[in-house]
Amino acid sequence: MASSYLDTAKRVIRMEGDAVDALGERIDDSFNRACELLLNCKGRVVVTGMGKSGHIGNKLAATLASTGTPAFFVHPGEASHGDMGMITAGDVVIALSNSGSTAELVTLIPLLKLLAVPVIAMTGKPNSELASSADVHLDVGVEQEACPLNLAPTSSTTVTLVMGDALAIALLEARGFTADDFAFSHPGGALGRRLLLKIDNIMHTGEAIPHINTGAKLSDALLEMSSKALGMTTVLNEDGSLAGIFTDGDLRRAIDRGIDIHQAKIDDVMTANCRSIKPGTLAAEALRIMEDNKITVLVALDDHAKPVGVIHTHDLLKAGVA
């Protein structure tokens, strides 16, 4: 029986993949016209659809809204009972219906015409009433549903979803939508933290920065490291600029070399020309630098090469960035 499950899964995946491939081969200038309508929309993009098409429509509206195209979903049944007031002149409607004859959608067409609201129809029937009355028709038809009865919307909903994603990403690129723009739409959760959080919000500053001066004894550096508990200390020149850092790793290497930790000078064991970072850098960028260089700490320097903060991988973990 388990083998039968796997065979079914592979068949469904293959059929839906073939349906998506076929969509890519027949996409035409109608897609360009749909993108132009959406890009020039002065109001909101209103997505509507019944049943499974409605579920796909909800997802499409959410994807558009999060990628720079203001959009929302209106249930076509509710539109006939008051929610039509949510659609105004200046909007563009995307209507989803595999059959192209869904009564609740067809009923809305004359009302949308009165408002002079352009309609982009996504159907599997180019000759259907909805397709014929729309300003732009996008063909999302499939030869066969993955359902063995050829009844349950499967391949057709997948193809519609892909077409919707193609619209959203085409508009994203046309708008020059950036990672910062995306972050503005996703301020919460791990995604928001990675895209918005800067090191200034989590780095150790002021007296919390471990520091000793050049010429100091290694034993003094160890005391400073212990008191600040960051596993490192900065080493400063007389003018307060960074000369280098000394870390737990440097200590292990010094011991391996047989250095007397009570007599050695910090200048002989510190890491000069260490990696640093600027204040205002995204925490995610700090993490990337640490990972690329296999280090666990970065010093933030001002324009005069003076330390203004220290950030450790532990800080990034606590902030949910790592």
Is there a single domain that holds both residue 75 and residue 205? Answer: no
Q: Three-state SS across the chain?
A: CHHHHHHHHHHHHHHHHHHHHHHHHHCCHHHHHHHHHHHCCCCCEEEEECHHHHHHHHHHHHHHHHCCCCEEECCHHHHCCCHHHHCCCCCEEEEEECCCCCHHHHHHHHHHHHCCCCEEEEECCCCCHHHHHCCEEEECCCCCCCCCCCCCCCHHHHHHHHHHHHHHHHHHHHHCCCHHHHHHHCCCHHHHHHHHCEHHHCCECHHHCCEEECCCEHHHHHHHHHHHCCCEEEEECCCCCEEEEEEHHHHHHHHHCCCCCCCCEHHHCCEECCCEECCCCEHHHHHHHHHHHCCCEEEEECCCCCEEEEEEHHHHHHCCCC
Residue 192 lies in a domain: no
For residue 186, what pLDDT is reported?
57
Token reading at 127: 């000759």
Same domain, 22 and 159: yes
> What pLDDT digit, counting tens, does each position of 73-113 carry?
999 989 877 788 899 999 999 999 999 999 999 999 999 99
Mean pLDDT over the full length of the chain = 90
In tens, the pLDDT along 154-211 reads 999 999 999 999 999 999 999 887 766 666 665 555 556 666 788 998 999 999 999 9
Q: Are residues 165 and 288 in the same domain?
A: no
Q: Mean of the pLDDT values across residues 298-315?
A: 93
The pLDDT value given to residue 167: 97
CA distance 1 to 3: 5
- Are residues 281 and 155 part of one domain? no
How confident is the model over 262-289, as a mean pLDDT? 90
| Pair (208, 118) in one structural domain | no
Residues 139 and 230 in one domain: no
Residues 112 and 226 in one domain: no
Is residue 223 a part of any domain in this protein? yes
Chain mean position to CA 290: 21
pLDDT digits (tens, 9 = 90+) for 99-155: 999 999 999 999 999 999 999 999 999 999 999 999 999 999 999 999 888 888 999
CATH number of the domain where residue 67 is located: 3.40.50.10490
- For the cut 90, the answer to whether the pLDDT of residue 67 exceeds it is no
What type of residue sits at position 194?
Answer: R
Q: Are residues 151 and 226 in the same domain?
A: no
Distance CA 63, CA 47 (A): 11
In a domain, 182, yes or no: no
Which pTM does this prediction carry?
Answer: 0.66
- At 318 the pLDDT is 85
Give the per-residue pLDDT at 117.
Answer: 95
Q: Which residue has the tokens 């009972």?
A: 81
Which residues, including other chains, have CB under 8 Å from residue 28's CB and lie 6 or more apart?
Answer: none
Are 230 and 297 in contact, with CB atoms under 8 Å apart?
yes
- Asked, for residue 96, whether it belongs to a domain, the answer is yes
Do residues 204 and 166 share a domain? no
Please report the pLDDT score of residue 85 as a whole number.
Answer: 87
Residue 39 belongs to a domain: yes
CB-count exposure of residue 186 (10 Å: 0-12, 13-18, 19+):
middle
Rounded to whole angstroms, how far apart are CA atoms 242 and 213?
Answer: 9
Which domain, by its residues, includes 280? 199-318
Task: Tally Cβ neighbours within 10 Å of residue 129.
Answer: 19
Q: Please state the rounded mean pLDDT for residues 261-270.
A: 89
Is the same domain home to 204 and 164? Answer: no
Is the per-residue pLDDT at 18 higher than 90?
yes
CA dihedral 256, 259, 264, 269 (to 10 degrees): -30
One domain for residues 20 and 127:
yes
**Residue 303 within a domain:** yes
Structural domains in the chain (count): 2
Q: Are 28 and 128 in contact (CB under 8 A)?
A: no
What's the CATH number where 220 sits?
3.10.580.10
Is the same domain home to 148 and 28?
Answer: yes
pLDDT at 263: 86
Give a yes or no: residue 292 inside a domain. Answer: yes
Q: Does residue 193 form part of some domain?
A: no
Structure tokens at 74: 């209106």
135 to 17, 131, 164, 282: CA distances (angstroms): 29, 8, 17, 44
pLDDT value, residue 246: 92
Residue with tokens 């508990």: 229
